[in-house]
Structure 1
Amino acid sequence: MKKFRLSTWLGSGSTSDAAEGDEPKQNRRSFSPFSARSSAKVKDEISTEASASKDAYTMPESPVLSPSRLTELAKKIALETEKLEKYMQDNSLPMPTLDPSGPGDFPKLPEDIQKSRMEIIYATRELEALAHGPREDVRWKTWSLVPIDGTITLAELQSKTSLDPVNVARILRHVMTNRIFREPSPGVIAHTAASRLLAEDQSLQDWVGYNLEDNFPASAHVLQALNAYPEATSLTRTGFNFAFDTVDKEPMFVTFGKDPARAKRFGGAMLSLTGGEGYEVKHLVDSYDFGEIDSKGGTLVDIGGSHGFVCVDLAKKWRNMKFVVQDLPKTVDSAPNPISDDSQVSERIELVAHDFFKEQTVKDADVYFFRWIIHNYSTPYAVSILKNLVPALKPGAKVVIKDHCLREPGQETPWDERIIRSMDMVMLAVLNAQERNEDEYRELFKAADERYVFKGVMRPRGCRMSIIEAVWDPEGLGTAAGPNDSVPAEIKEE
Structure 2
Amino acid sequence: MTVQTSFPEEPSVREDAEVEAPAADSIRRMQELIRGMAVTQMIAAACEVGLPDAVAGDGTSLTSLSERLKVDADVLTRLARALSSHGIFEVEADGGIRHNEASRLLRTTTAGPSLHWAARFWAMPGIWRSWGALGHCVVTGEEAFSHVNDQDFFSYMNGSPEEEALYQRYMASGYPGRYAAIADVLTVAPGERVIDVGGGTGSLARAILERNPDAHAVVYDQASVISAGPGASGNDRLSTQEGSFFDEVPPGGDVYVLSWILHDWPDEKAESILRNCRKAMDAGARLVVVDRVLQEAPQECDPLDLVLDLQMLVLHGGRERTLDDFERLLKAAGFSAPQVLSARPEFSVIQARAV
Scaled by the length of structure 1, what TM-score is found?
Answer: 0.57
> Aligned match of 1:469 in 333, 351, 355?
351
Structure showing greater radius of gyration is: 1
Cα distance 1:427–1:201, how it changes in 2: closer, same or farther (>3 A)? Answer: farther
SS of corresponding position for 1:455: coil
> Aligned match of 2:242 in 353, 375, 381?
353
Distance 1:368 1:315 in 2: 14
User: How far off its partner does 1:198 sit?
Assistant: 2.7
SS of corresponding position for 2:244: coil
What amino acid is the match of 1:434?
Answer: R
What amino acid is the match of 1:423?
Answer: L
Distance 2:146 2:318 in 1: 14
Q: CA RMSD in A?
A: 3.3
Equivalent positions of 1:280-429 (< 5 A) are: 280-290=178-188, 294-295=189-190, 297-336=191-230, 346-360=235-249, 362-409=250-297, 412=300, 417-429=302-314
SS of corresponding position for 2:45: coil
Q: Deviations over 1:96-119 (max 9, x none)?
A: xxxxxx9774599xxxxxxxxxxx
> Aligned match of 2:162 in 258, 261, 265?
261
Are positions 1:181 and 2:89 aligned together?
yes
CA contact (8 A) 2:231 2:240 kept: no
Q: Find the counterpart in structure 2 of residue 141 from structure 1.
A: 45
CA contact (8 A) 1:328 1:353 kept: yes
Q: Deviations over 1:353-384 (max 9, x none)?
A: 12111122x22321211000011111121111
Distance 2:24 2:46 in 1: 40
Cα distance 1:321–1:329, how it changes in 2: closer, same or farther (>3 A)? Answer: same
Equivalent positions of 1:186-205 (< 5 A) are: 186-201=94-109, 204-205=115-116
User: How far off its partner does 1:147 sit?
Assistant: 4.2
Distance 2:146 2:293 in 1: 27
Cα distance 1:338–1:352, how it changes in 2: closer, same or farther (>3 A)? Answer: closer
Distance 2:45 2:353 in 1: 46
Distance 1:156 1:147 in 2: 8
Q: Find the counterpart in structure 1 of residue 337 from structure 2.
A: 455
Distance 1:299 1:104 in 2: 64
User: How far off its partner does 1:284 sit?
Assistant: 2.4
User: How far off its partner does 1:319 sit?
Assistant: 2.2
Q: Deviations over 1:102-161 (max 9, x none)?
A: 9774599xxxxxxxxxxxx9xxxxxxxxxxxxxxxx944325254424523448728965
SS of corresponding position for 1:301: strand
What amino acid is the match of 2:336?
Answer: F
Q: Deviations over 1:225-269 (max 9, x none)?
A: 331x23x3xxxxx22334xx33xx310221122121111011111
User: How far off its partner does 1:396 sit?
Assistant: 1.4
Larger RCO, structure (CA 8 Å, separation 6 or more) = 1
Distance 2:65 2:193 in 1: 59
Equivalent positions of 1:64-103 (< 5 A) are: none
CA contact (8 A) 1:459 1:465 kept: no
Distance 1:462 1:188 in 2: 40
CA contact (8 A) 1:438 1:457 kept: no
User: How far off its partner does 1:329 sit?
Assistant: 1.3
Equivalent positions of 1:22-37 (< 5 A) are: none
What amino acid is the match of 2:296?
Answer: E
State the identity as a percent: 22
SS of corresponding position for 2:217: strand
Cα distance 1:221–1:201, how it changes in 2: closer, same or farther (>3 A)? Answer: farther
Q: Find the counterpart in structure 2 of residue 63 from structure 1.
A: none
Cα distance 1:349–1:411, how it changes in 2: closer, same or farther (>3 A)? Answer: farther
CA contact (8 A) 1:404 1:464 kept: yes
Distance 1:334 1:268 in 2: 13
Distance 1:370 1:439 in 2: 18
Q: Find the counterpart in structure 2 of residue 239 from structure 1.
A: 144
CA contact (8 A) 2:340 2:350 kept: yes
Cα distance 1:406–1:194, how it changes in 2: closer, same or farther (>3 A)? Answer: closer
> Aligned match of 1:441 in 301, 323, 326?
326
Q: Find the counterpart in structure 2 of residue 157 from structure 1.
A: 66
Distance 2:151 2:21 in 1: 45
Q: Find the counterpart in structure 1 of residue 8 from structure 2.
A: none
Distance 1:400 1:335 in 2: 23
Distance 1:152 1:472 in 2: 62
User: How far off its partner does 1:468 sit?
Assistant: 2.8
Q: Find the counterpart in structure 1 of residue 117 from structure 2.
A: 206
User: How far off its partner does 1:443 sit?
Assistant: 2.1
Cα distance 1:379–1:190, how it changes in 2: closer, same or farther (>3 A)? Answer: same
| Greater Cα shift, 183-192 or 402-411 | 183-192
Q: Which runs of 5+ in 2 are unaligned?
A: 1-18, 30-41
User: How far off its partner does 1:401 sit?
Assistant: 0.9
